[in-house]
Amino acid sequence: MKTILNILLLLLSFQLFAQQNLTGIVSDEKGQPLDFATVTLSQNGQVLTSQLTEAGKFTLTNLNQSPYELAVSLIGYKSVLRVFNMPKDSLNITLLNDDLQLNEVSIVFKKPTIERQIDRVVFNVANSILASGGTAWDALSRAPGVQTGNDGGVKANNKKVTVYMDGKPVRLSGDDLSAYLQSIPSDNIAKIEVMPNPSSKYEAQGGAVINIISKKATMDGFNASLSGGYTRGQMNRYTSNGVFNYRKNKLNIFGSYGYSDRSIQRDINFYTNYQTPTSSAYWDLNKVTVVKSKINNYTAGADYNLTENQVVGVLITGNNTANAGYGTAITDIYNNHKPKADSVLNTLSTNRGHANQYSFNLNYKIKLDSARGGGPGRSLNIDLDYAPFSKDNVQNLKNSMILPDESLAFAPYQTSSPSIQKIDIWSGKVDYGYSLGKILTMESGLKYTSITSENQFDFYNTPDVVPVLDPTRSDRFQYTENTAAAYTSLAGVSSKWNFKGGLRAEYTRTKGFSHSLDSINVKKYLRIFPTAFVTYKASENSEFGFAYSKRIERPDYRQLNPAKNYSSPYNYQSGNPFLRPAIINNLQIRYTLHQNYTFSAVYTTTKDMASNVTVQNNDTKTFYDTQQNIGSIRDIGIEFSSIHHAASWWEINNTAQGYFRNQSSNQPGNTYSDKQFYFYLRTDHAFTIDNNNGLKAEMSAWYNSAVQQGTLKLARTYDLSIGISKPVFNKQGTIRLSASDILLGNPYRIIINNQGQNNGIYQKNDTRTFTVSFSYKLGKNLAAARKRTTASEEEKRRAN
């Protein structure tokens, strides 16, 4: 504890680097404050931030002494452009009435597609044709540095991430995460924040954080927007969504509803080469699966201003999913290198299930005072959350083995595997922000989370008519997790320096009990997670930066559950209740030129990373996929990004990342030592074809080289996508057309050849698609809703 206090005192000594904040007010000629005026801050022609005034007020943070340009505009008033330097106490902006502007509005600054800040990259979805008009999953895949996998996995700058929706983590993983985000139209997304090195305010869970921020109408009275889309791949997909807002006086009521009907086909080839000293068997499985999902997701909330400085709010979100799927698998079995199959295993599968997730949030925020000199002063934020989750599923398999003479090797038999999962998350957190004048801003907070998870998995054989329970293949798994956390952070700007840093402490106690294994696994651990960000502005066009963060990757509940999920009598998947959390250290040194070109050197270490591993028994001809802490990984790399305009009608964003990986493991059955180089390239182009008619186009292409992750060798992938958009109905509506993965270069391919294991999978997903979408605004403006980082944060992502 003494060490922690010393570090906190060291952080407090950084007042030299304290940030400067600036408040202002926008009013009319009579001195009346103006709501919803657009305030845009720029520096050297690059937009830094944009916001709407509330009661005429606005606040700008993280400012240095360099010149800034401030543009203020509002329909019916003349726009104002003000140039100022820091330090400065406040800004008073007066807008003059201009009736001519009611007929034609001239926008002074266009918000860029990508904004880069000290600890995050902001992707403005509305500026991207390929991201707009699709789904939240499509928009996520278009964000800079973000890679989405066919299995529902998400990475940012080569790190696993925690995905948030409006400050609340999405409590899904894998295909469930992908399905949920694909049920939300991207027209409901304002922006996506990518944080490769999150600050100490965020949960330490995940190598990086991605926060998806949705839109909400903010004009007085009733406002709404509607959107819908149709996507054609091998099968059809439909999405629709509506967003509404009603604001009057102190009350603001808002909500949204989305519906998705998706059918996806996957073509899978899986081979296993069983080799023993006396025999050889090659199993070649070809499978076609179809998954159909109908998803309803909704949000309802209200904010009420008790006083000018106090607001209380409630927020309810829900997602209800109904899944139905079927598959046909044919496995040709070749023994001892024979050219013709000795037998063929036919497996017919059906799946049917439901998933329901909810979140109930109560929020209270108060601004206690204003700091001397116009700073943000002290504020207190309290969140209470309850997040229940339930999922049920039934899988049925019908198996038969056919010999070369077309006779049956044994009588056909069936299996049935019903499963139930229930998770309850209770959370509470308090955040306290405070400042000393204009030069120092700090924030501290406390959080406590209690999680209970219950998983029931039963396995039934049906040799006759009556199903027979097989207790050796069934299981009941109970898991509890309690975490207490505290953090403090400091941020500031002084002269050419910009600093942001902090500490987070988390004490966690977990307990897992498997009835089938008759084992209890208890873990208790305290971890300290420091973060630090420093930038030095050498000149107007040259800036150096440093970032460090320590993170933790706790396994999700699916990875911990030892229940066996069978895809055939000889093949299943199972979790591991004895997984340990992985510890991740991130270090970055960067240089930015002209605010448009960024070069970074990065170093990342991961200890005890949990990953898929396969277990192949060459004697019994059985195979299963499970989870293990596979060892340590060190990545040393270089990252480059650029934003520039080749012409007034052509915007280009480029990303290049290259890493040298050194990894090793001494796990029995999975021992390895490997070194390799891998890379990721991406280019995005936005074209204004006809500015008068608003006709725009976009092209995106990326390439991901092959990479070794533990014993898994992931093959290269690539993507080329294009899109075009045009406003209609007096720019109240927008129609978009897009084509994704035109070259069909995004399949899922894995090869394993290690210590007696020789197998691989090729999965062609339904990624080559054509989409047509339409959105319409039933109001004048849409802007981001009041953001809350609720108490039940990263825990919900880890659920299935």
More confidently predicted of 135 and 534: 534
Please give the model's pTM, rounded to 2 decimal places: 0.79
Nearest to 743 by CA among 700, 713, 708: 700
Instruction: Work out whether strand 695-704 and strand 717-728 pair parallel, antiparallel, or are unpaired.
Output: antiparallel
pLDDT of residue 439: 67
Return the SS3 of 7: helix
pLDDT of residue 213: 86
pLDDT of residue 394: 93
Distances (CA, A) of 431 to 58, 379, 436, 742: 21, 8, 17, 47
pLDDT digits (tens, 9 = 90+) for 76-129: 788 888 888 777 767 888 888 765 444 444 444 456 677 767 667 888 887 776
Buried b (16+ CB within 10 A) or exposed e, 449-466: bebebebbbbbbebeeee
CA dist 254 and 243 (Å) reads 8
Share of the chain residues as helix, strand and coil, in percent rounded to the nearest 5: 5, 65, 30
pLDDT digits (tens, 9 = 90+) for 123-181: 888 777 667 666 788 788 878 778 787 667 788 877 888 888 887 777 666 666 776 77
Residue reference for tokens 């390895």: 672
pLDDT digits (tens, 9 = 90+) for 4-31: 444 433 433 333 333 467 788 888 887 8
Whether residue 789 has pLDDT greater than 80: no
CA dist 483 and 523 (Å) reads 12
CA dist 413 and 398 (Å) reads 6
What domains are there in the chain, each with its CATH number?
214-798 (2.40.170.20)
Residue reference for tokens 């659920």: 799
Q: Which of 15-29, 266-280, 567-581 has the highest mean pLDDT?
A: 266-280
Query: Residue 332 corresponds to which tokens in the numbers above?
Result: 């040709």
pLDDT of residue 500: 85
* Per-chain mean pLDDT for the chain: 83
Residue 665: CA count within 13 A, CB half-sphere: 25
Nearest to 714 by CA among 704, 724, 701, 729: 704
pLDDT of residue 172: 67
pLDDT of residue 51: 81
Q: Could you say which DSSP state residue 77 is in?
A: B
